[in-house]
Amino acid sequence: MKIGTAVFTYNRSKHTEQVLNELSKNTILPEKLFLFQDGLKNENDKVEWEKVKEIIRGVNWCETEVIEANQNKGLANSIVDGVNYVFEDYEAIIVLEDDCVPHPQFMEYMVQSLNQYAKNLEVYCINAYGWPVEAKENGTDAYFCGRAGSWGWGTWKECWAEYEREYTLIGKIKKDRKANERFHIWGQDLESYVLGNVKGNCNSWATFFALKIIEKDGLCLTPYNSFVYNIGLDGTGVHCGALPYEQRSRSKDELLPIKLPSKVELVADYQKTYEGWFSWTPIEKKLECYNGVMEQWIKMLVQGYSIESYLLKKQINKIAVWGRGKLFNLLYEQLSCVKIEAIIESYMTDKCYKDIPIISSYEITDDIQLIIIIPIYDINQIRNKVQNYKNIQVLGIDELISNVNKEAELY
């Protein structure tokens, strides 16, 4: 099977150089490497854009074709046009963007997977990135889920032929009971990207491919430990911003043979594993939750009770709070004897807030007695992330205030 490899670039020379350097060290080199560079958007980008042009034109360690756009297309159009171009002559494709640094066995994993599942109509996509979830081990290096990713991926010409930017697709999926069930597991967050595309503040191609796979009940091979590492979470990218993000990468210390599952089926306990992982909450729901909490909080204060007095009565004096916002500020102002040891966030945009360290869920220490969750609309997803801390109590801010009010009614 003919497999083309594509790398998409624009104006990040250091990122591009690192991606290509690591790709050149892979155990298998591309059959042919297509190097796409988007057209110049503005003069401020020109210096870096010229550096990237020089880098991609200098690749000589495999057969290459450099395709430079005459005008700026944007990320989505660049990738869609580029993939279509490769599929004019190739049966399958491997795709990297300029911030996804490949593991030494990235190409080996992708080529082996594309060949092994080429004739299986259930498999639509090969993911090189594996989400940091506790997926059930199956004795191999990868498993099947229902979500396509964009941090290093591959697919076949027949599967890509079904791709289309169909804005009514979510509506169609929601009208079908089984498809809607899949959507709630694998793609709730995609709705926000579709809305972003409509509003013009998002330019995502991957959203529509992921939705099409959900509609078709397709499967996506996904590694337990990623074969790529995203270095674009540093503020230089268009979509990701500057975000510390957990990435579980395959070890480079010993390059072991790659084992792929022989049975094509969803990973065991997939519903529990991915529950809430791709969730999305509309602003209306967030406002509803906020108003409900404030109503209970006012009731508590009118009765002369406080969260701090309740916590001290329960001998809790060291807590962590998940999330910030107005509710966090209210809580912070009402605590003096109870110490907030840390603020927990999935996407840490700051190192501290009000002199309180901001940490990830993987940095929680054993001295924390209670975790209070502010974004209660995401509580199931957050509970999954802290489920390994068996000795730490976890309460939504609404549950905590409800407990205070119930105790107040007893006296």
Tens-place pLDDT, residues 91-137: 999 999 999 999 999 999 999 999 999 999 999 999 999 998 889 99
pLDDT over 80 (residue 270):
yes
The dotted CATH code for 283-410 is: 3.40.50.720
Tens-place pLDDT, residues 192-230: 888 877 767 677 899 999 999 999 999 999 999 999 999
Question: How much of the chain exceeds pLDDT 90, in percent?
Answer: 74
Q: What is the arithmetic mean of pLDDT over 226-254?
A: 72
Domain boundaries 3-273, CATH class: alpha beta
Tell me the C-alpha distance between 384 and 394, whole Å: 11
Which pLDDT band holds residue 242 (cuts at 50, 70, 90)? Answer: very low
Tens-place pLDDT, residues 53-76: 999 999 999 999 999 999 999 999
In this prediction, residue 72 carries a pLDDT of 95
Distances (CA, A) of 174 to 178, 180, 182, 358, 359: 9, 5, 10, 37, 36
Whether the Cβ atoms of residue 114 and residue 154 lie closer than 8 Å to each other: yes
Which residues are 153's β-sheet partners? Answer: 95, 127
Which pLDDT band holds residue 240 (cuts at 50, 70, 90)? Answer: very low
pLDDT over 60 (residue 187):
yes
Q: Please report which helix (H) or strand (E) contains residue 327, including its range.
A: helix 326-333
Tens-place pLDDT, residues 7-64: 999 999 999 999 999 999 999 999 999 999 999 999 999 999 999 999 999 999 999 9
- Identify the burial level of 72 via C-beta atoms within 10 angstroms of its C-beta, where 0-12 means exposed, 13-18 middle and 19 or more buried: middle
Domain boundaries, the chain: 3-273, 283-410
Burial 103-126 (b: 16+ CB within 10 A, else e): bbbbbbbbbbbbebbeeeeebbbb
In this prediction, residue 243 carries a pLDDT of 46
